[in-house]
Structure 1
C-alpha cells in the first residue's frame, strides 16, 4: 500500500473483463528448456515501487542468461492497465501489485498457481506472512512478496533534546507518543515552524497505514477476518481516534493536518519541523544525512507493537508462455543473494523474516528493528478494500474525519455505511 496519495476508485469495468482469463487454467505453456536459457520475460510494476524493482531487475539481468524487460506504469493508471491487458489476454509474464489489491486479482484468476513451486523453497516459512496470506486463495498460493513498506514512528532526536526530552527514548505507548509530541510543541512551537506531530487528516490511506497498527498493537481488529464487517466504531479504534482528536484540538498537529490529502504528508519531518510522527519505513534512507532520527514500533494506547505491512506482491500471469523462466526470476528475487546484496544493501525492508540480522542491516539497529516488525505486523484483507478505505469519496474517510475533527456520535451510522460498502 502507498498511502502518500489518495487511492482512486477501481473503475467499474476494471475487473469485468478479467474473468475470461480464468479459462486459461494452468497458466500457459511451460518452457521445454531449462529455466535459465536466455529467455526474455516481461514484467510490469507501478511507479511507487520503481526504485526497488529496477535494482532487482538490473542485478538479475547482470547475472543470468534470462533477461527481464521491465515496464514502469504510473501508479494511478496501474489498475486500469492491468484490467485492460487481462481482458485482451496481453498481460506481461510477471507483474507486481499493491498487496492490498492482490485478493482481487487472485479471485479473477490473473496469477498462476505457484503452490508447488513455493513449497520447494527451503525458506518458504520465512516469507513475509502478511503478503503470503493475501496471495492465498482457497489454500493455494499465487504470489511472492516483492517490496515491503512498514509504518513506524520516527522521532527527531535534536528536537527532543531541545524540548527537554531524552533523545534516546522514543514512545513505547500511544499515550507516551501524545505526551512527547505535546512537550515538543509546547517548548518549541511558539514560532509556528515546529509542531509536535503530523498526520494526513484528509487521506483515507494515511489513516489506515498509521492509525490501524495502534489497534492491532492493543490486541484489537479493524474488521472481521472475511473483510465484510467493520469494527471501527468501537474500542480500541475509538481510543486511538481520541488520542489524535485531543492532539489536534490542542494544536499539537500543526494547522494543515486536517486538510492534508496525502501527497505531502511525509514532507514535513525531513525538514526538521516535526517532533514525532508515523512514517513509512522506506523514507528512512531518504532522510537528510545529518538528521538524528529514532525509530520505534507503532504502539497501542497502553503498549504493544505492530505495523501496517504494505508494499507489493508479485506473481506469474496466468497467460504467460514462459512460466518456468518467470518463476526462476521470482524465486531469485527472494533468494539470499537478492535480499541481502540488493535489498538490504539499500536499506530496503526484506521479504524474509530470517534475514533481518544480515550484515548490512545489522550496521543500523533501526533497520534491524524495521525488519523485525514484518513478522509482527498485519495487512488487512477485504475484497472491496479500495472502494471502502482508499477512495477519497468512500465511507471510511468520512468516518475517520468525524472521529478526529467532527461529531464522534455519528460513528455508528458511518460504520454502517462502511459495512454496506464492504458487503456489496
Structure 2
C-alpha cells in the first residue's frame, strides 16, 4: 500500500491509443506450434505469479515467460512500454490503478471471453468492477490482499481477555488494545495496537473498512468527491485518536511511513491490529493468532480488497494464447492447488471454502470477505491518497495527531485533487 505513489500521473501524458471494440480483438495467434507469451508483474506479487506460471508451464504446451519488475519502477515501466507499443502479452497491475490503464486503452476488451467462463459470476466482484469501463470488461483478478484484524492470543490471555474472542466492533477493538497496554505493556516493549501514522496507503487500507462496515462511504461512486469529513469517518478517527492519546498505539506509530508497519506484530509485540491478510502465511508457526473482519465503531464488517488484476495487452499478437493462460489462472486447479494451497486468498467466491482453507478457519473467514469488501474507485487515487505530499495524508494526520477542526478544509482539498 505504501508504494502506490504518484507515478501513475505518467499515464496522463501517454499518447498510446487503441481500438477497443468487439471484445475479441488483437492479432490472431499462429495456427501451428506452441506459443510463448510474455508476462509482467510487480515484485509485490512475485511469489504468487511465479507459482501460477510454473504450474501452467508444467502442464501446457503454450508457455509463459515471466518478468518481475521492482514495484517502485512498475508504473513508469508500463507507461514507457505503452508509449512505445511494446507492452508484454499480459500484465498485472495494482487493482487501484486499473481504471487508469483501461481509460488509456492499454488492455484488450475481453468481455465476450469472460462471458464464456462457467464461473464468470463468481470472480472477485471488486476487482471485476474496477476492470470494467463503459460496460466492457478488460481484466480479471490476479491476486487479492485483504485488510483484517489480527490478535495475539497469548497477549489477550495475559491481559485477562478471552483469547478465542476477537473484537466485534472498533470500540471493542479499542477496549482490547487498551487492556493489553495496561496489563501487558508495562515493560515498554508490548503495545496494545499499532498503525502507519505517516502512511497514506496504510490509512486507507485499515481505516476505510470501518467506515464501510458502519454503512458509510469515503467517496462518491465516480471517485470525484471526498466524504472523509462525514460522521462515519469522523467517528473512526476519534476512536483511533483516543488510543494514540492514551499511548496505546506505540511510540513510533506517528512517524511510521509504511516500511516497518507490519513488522512488530510477528515479533509478539502488538496485541491487536489491522494487517494485510497475505501476512498470515508468513507468521511464526508457533504464534497463536486470531483473525477477525474489520468492524465499524458499533459493529458490522468489511475489508479493503487490494491486490492486482491482470489482462491481455491491447497490442498482443497472441491474444488467444494469452487468454488461455489467464482463464486457466481462474480455474479450480489454479485457484485451489496453487493459490489456496499456499494460503493465498482465492479470486472466486465459490471456492472460499476448499480442501486447503478448510484446514484453517481463519483462511475461510478471509476468503469469505471477498464478497463483502470494497475497492474504492478514483482515477486520481494515487496522487490523492497515496502520495506522501497528497491531501489525504495531511487530513488523516490532523485528525489523529493535530487539529481536527481543519478536516473540512482538507477534505475540500481532497475533492479538488480528485477532480483535477
* TM-score, normalization by structure 1: 0.97
1:282-315 deviations in whole A, cap 9, x for unaligned? 0000000000000000000000000000000000
Q: Residue 23 of structure 1: CA displacement?
A: 4.7
Counterparts of 1:5-404 in structure 2 under 5 Å?
Answer: 5-10=2-7, 12-17=9-14, 19-23=15-19, 27-33=25-31, 37-404=33-400
Q: Residue 6 of structure 1: CA displacement?
A: 4.1
Q: Is the 8 A contact 2:42 2:70 kept in 1?
A: yes
1:263-289 deviations in whole A, cap 9, x for unaligned? 110000000000000000000000000
Q: The residue matched to 2:309 in structure 1 has which SS?
A: strand
Partners of 1:89 and 1:183 in 2: how far apart?
57
Q: Is the 8 A contact 2:11 2:104 kept in 1?
A: no
Q: Residue 15 of structure 1: CA displacement?
A: 3.4
Partners of 2:177 and 2:407 in 1: how far apart?
27
Partners of 2:174 and 2:315 in 1: how far apart?
51
Q: Residue 12 of structure 1: CA displacement?
A: 4.6
Counterparts of 1:399-418 in structure 2 under 5 Å?
Answer: 399-418=395-414
Q: Residue 24 of structure 1: CA displacement?
A: 7.6
Partners of 1:20 and 1:106 in 2: how far apart?
12
Q: The residue matched to 1:270 in structure 2 has which SS?
A: helix
Q: Residue 234 of structure 1: CA displacement?
A: 1.2
Q: Is the 8 A contact 1:43 1:68 kept in 2?
A: yes
Partners of 2:217 and 2:191 in 1: how far apart?
30
Structure 2 gap ranges (5+): none
Q: The residue matched to 1:69 in structure 2 has which SS?
A: strand
1:135-158 deviations in whole A, cap 9, x for unaligned? 000000000000000000000000
Partners of 1:220 and 1:382 in 2: how far apart?
17
